[in-house]
Structure 1
Amino acid sequence: MDVNAHTRDPREHVNEEPRNDLGDLLAGFFGMTGFMTVVFFGMVIIKFLSE
């Protein structure tokens, strides 16, 4: 039986778009932490101004 299966060895995979996963993770973590810090202090200021 002849089957035309074009399989590839996954070890031959070439990463077309190299990424810096650790850098992306740290940027996202510290970016979100910074944003939430700004939101927190903004809410504290609004609370004290509304009293």
Structure 2
Amino acid sequence: MGSFSAWHWLIVLVVVLLFFGKGKIPELMGDLAHGIRAFKKGVEDEKDDTSLS
């Protein structure tokens, strides 16, 4: 149960590319980034609302 070698990561990368395809990964990363930004904005709005009380 040690750390993964470079070969393990290469195999994982190949499987991910085969599963999602080359064009789908950037789209997924963009959606993930959009979700993170929306979450951060929601947290900031929540802080602003509670500080006004």
TM-score range, shorter chain: 0.5 to 0.7
The percentage of counterpart residues that share the same residue type is 11
RMSD: 2.0
Could you tell me how far apart the structure 1 residues matched to 2:41 and 2:35 are?
10
Aligned residues: 36
For structure 2, list consecutive stretches of 5 or more residues without a partner in the other structure: 1-13
Q: Extract structure 1 runs of 4+ deviating beyond 4 A.
A: none
Mapping for residues 15-30 of structure 1, pairs under 5 Å: 15=18, 17-19=19-21, 20-30=24-34
For structure 1, list consecutive stretches of 5 or more residues without a partner in the other structure: 1-12
Q: Which has the higher helix share?
A: 2
TM-score norm. by structure 2 comes to: 0.58
